[in-house]
A = this chain, B = another copy of it.
């Protein structure tokens, strides 16, 4: 489906920029192959395309300098956080400089009274939550990987908690961004809401580094709930599990997490994480609130589970049991990969309105069986977002072609059900053709914005548009 053609390289510009940057950054500019490869797309099915150098940045001014130098010499800049994105966002198809922001890892300010904080882009979500521990606040967005917050903003990440707390779209109050011409701007204030002109914050969130480089984030935080309970329950089929999920959402229960694992994925998690869950479709649930509120939520949901024929409503009230359950969920990708040693997991990412979720998952499973793909499925079902993990041999061209055909078929299924080809992974290199088919002429609007803000095309070229 995707041909990773290289883009034309500006050899002279790249060499000049590397010379200048080496003088400024000293050993913080690295050109060795191991480091460059490590900073290219490695965690996914797309082949790596390494940058020509990696710049380890420490300040926003340094980032602005780097971009000015690269603009002067027409050299691509590829922002890098932790390298956990899934659609080739950190590849360098035209070469250029990888801007490694992992060293910009300061939590600059925590405003506990207002429930917000200001952080540098290299802070990871777990680091932030460690820093917040004493305040009674937490940062809820949890995509699984311990990604950097700058990277999470750039891909508009979400994950298991989005059904209650929203996505990075909702979590980011304001950004400081280096524009493609090297100017440093702020896109908002700490105020909770604003009507002050175009929503540049939301434009930069999800722009995958193609419109600028995020050097600071102002994030919204939430109070750690007084009471947290988690549960696991098993269903006779995926349809019953999804019906329960729809009923939970429709009854207005403010559930914090509601995750589906299909029978194959449960088997994978049992094997990988030493669990003994029944090998049938499973919902993992988490409830946040006051003790009485959580008790009420639990009672209502337990009744809905029973009505749908679900069973084994197991409670994990102790923090360590909850952690074990959610760790297994987070390790689902690796657990799935272990089902077929040597295989790579290609993660699909469609999202549909929840009333269409049951038919969507069932059709996706049926199609995978028809195509002889080993493909466990799991999903953030409260949002209608699910992932089918295609376990394929990356060296086998026929398998790769089959997987590509499946990914395209699944996107078409999602569109036919009023959905999108990507709920949270982004477009990157991998889904550009699908974006055009999904958004049509709206992609021209995106391209016009890109051309207006980055006329030289230096910011993360070859992604989105």
Interface, chain A (partner B; CB < 8 A): 111, 113-116, 155-158, 162, 167, 169-170, 179, 183, 185-200, 202-203, 205-207, 211, 222-223, 225-226, 246, 249-252, 254, 290, 292-293, 296, 349, 351-355, 383-385, 414-415, 418-427, 431, 435, 438-446, 448-449, 451-453, 464-465
Contacts and interface: CB of A to CB of B under 8 A. Distances in A.
Nearest to A438: B196
A155 B349 CA distance: 33
Contacts of A167: 193
A197 B250 contact: no
Contact of A191 (B186, B296, B353, B445): B353
Given A206-B198, A223-B250, A443-B197, A191 B420 contact: yes
A113 to B, nearest CB: 4
29 contacts: A113-B355, A115-B249, A156-B194, A156-B195, A169-B199, A189-B419, A192-B354, A193-B424, A194-B351, A194-B422, A194-B423, A195-B422, A195-B426, A195-B427, A196-B420, A196-B422, A196-B438, A197-B439, A197-B443, A198-B207, A198-B445, A198-B446, A198-B464, A199-B202, A199-B203, A202-B202, A223-B251, A290-B296, A293-B293
Q: Which 4 A-B pairs have the closest CB atoms?
A: A452-B452, A202-B202, A113-B355, A223-B252
**Interface SS, A side:** loop
A197 B464 CA distance: 6
A418 B189 contact: yes
Given A113-B354, A250-B223, A448-B453, A383 B196 contact: no
B353 A197 contact: no
Contacts of A189: 415, 418-420, 438
A465 B196 CA distance: 11
A61 to B, nearest CB: 15
Contacts of A183: 441, 444
A354 B423 contact: no
Given A223-B250, A451-B452, A195 B185 contact: no
A228 to B, nearest CB: 13
B440 A185 contact: yes
Contacts of A290: 296
Contacts of A250: 113, 115, 223
Contact of A185 (B254, B419, B441): B441
Contacts of A179: 445
Contacts of A186: 439-440, 442
A114 B354 CA distance: 6
Contact of A449 (B169, B384, B452): B452
Contacts of A191: 351-353, 384-385, 414, 418-420, 423
Given A206-B199, A353-B111, A452-B448, A385 B193 contact: yes
Name which of A194, A290, A349, A421 has the most chain B CB atoms within 10 A of its CB: A194
Contact of A442 (B190, B200, B206, B354): B200
A111 B352 CA distance: 13
Given A206-B198, A384-B192, A445 B438 contact: no
Contacts of A441: 183, 185
A459 to B, nearest CB: 13
Nearest to A210: B198
A199 to B, nearest CB: 5
Given A195-B424, A197-B443, 9 more contacts: A196-B421, A196-B435, A197-B427, A197-B435, A197-B446, A198-B203, A223-B251, A226-B252, A293-B296
